[in-house]
């Protein structure tokens, strides 16, 4: 393992400061980079986010340039896939020196909309909700979870994992105050659609859905369904297939 994660939270913050919302160079970003208004496939966005994270660690190690095959090794992908993905960037690299690490991070950040803060709320502070709050606490400065909501009086009006928990009945006031645009749903199946219906008029543009139910939303609303049970079942299927070969 190449990376030392001692004091990683502090180091990671210092590395990202140069490329996120505190970087004034984004205000003059060149028109060659795709913006959020230009459609990029979901899987490509996922890989670009992965490249950004991996390259940030490389930058911490004072790496200035990197080749596509080296990025591919870090991401466990093919060099051809990496080159196709990076074609959405203005920076095309150099055959002798490869890609400039800082420029790739900067341009991917622009594509991912990391030039401004987008606030997140989570609904449901049970075991799953608490785990999510604990894991992400302080890790994504430009995508902070600023509020949590629950129906249980035992969980509300307190701070859990650094996040204030409100009663669901107070959602309208909090959403108007904090301008929240992304919501994580860690609620029972029976509550998911009702919550979505009341939040869309508040300006929520994207949902990360951990409830095991499809959501009905307008075409302009993004939903990412995360079903761990389906993932485990898929893994079990391929485990059998690979074992029987």
- Domain boundaries in the chain? 8-111, 120-230
- Looking at residue 201, what DSSP letter applies? G
Residue 14 scores a pLDDT above 50: no
Residue 23 scores a pLDDT above 80: no
**Per DSSP, what are the bridge partners of residue 225?**
209
DSSP, collapsed to helix, strand or coil, labels residue 164 as: strand
For 83-124, the pLDDT digits (tens) are 999 988 876 677 888 999 999 988 988 888 766 789 999 999
Q: Which residues contact 98 (CB under 8 A, 6 or more apart)?
A: 65, 66, 67, 68, 70
* CA of residue 235 relative to chain centroid, distance: 23
Q: Class assignment of domain 8-111?
A: mainly alpha
Who has greater pLDDT, 14 or 230? Answer: 230
Record: fold of 120-230: Rossmann fold (3.40.50)
For 44-94, the pLDDT digits (tens) are 999 998 998 999 899 988 899 999 999 999 999 999 999 999 988 876 677
């Amino acid at each position: 393992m190449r990376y030392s994660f001692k004091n990683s939270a502090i180091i990671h913050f210092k590395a990202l400061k140069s490329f996120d919302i505190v970087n004034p160079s984004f205000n003059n970003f060149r028109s060659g980079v795709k913006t959020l208004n230009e459609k990029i496939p979901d899987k490509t966005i996922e890989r670009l986010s992965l490249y950004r994270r991996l390259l940030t660690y490389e930058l911490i190690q004072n790496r200035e340039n990197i080749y596509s095959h080296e990025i591919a090794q870090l991401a466990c992908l093919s060099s051809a896939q990496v080159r196709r993905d990076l074609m959405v960037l203005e920076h095309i690299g150099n055959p002798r020196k490869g890609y400039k690490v800082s420029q790739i991070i900067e341009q991917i950040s622009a594509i991912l909309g990391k030039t401004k803060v987008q606030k997140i709320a989570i609904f449901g502070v049970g075991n799953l909700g608490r785990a999510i709050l604990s894991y992400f606490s302080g890790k994504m400065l430009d995508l902070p979870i600023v509020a949590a909501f629950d129906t249980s009086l035992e969980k509300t009006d307190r701070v859990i994992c650094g996040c204030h928990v409100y009663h669901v009945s107070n959602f309208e006031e909090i959403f108007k105050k904090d301008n929240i645009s992304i919501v994580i749903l860690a609620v029972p199946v029976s509550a998911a659609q009702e919550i979505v219906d009341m939040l869309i008029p508040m300006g929520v543009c994207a949902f990360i859905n951990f409830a095991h139910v499809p959501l009905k939303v307008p075409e302009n609303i993004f939903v990412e369904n995360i079903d761990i049970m389906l993932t485990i079942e898929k893994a079990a299927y391929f485990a059998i297939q690979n074992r029987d070969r």
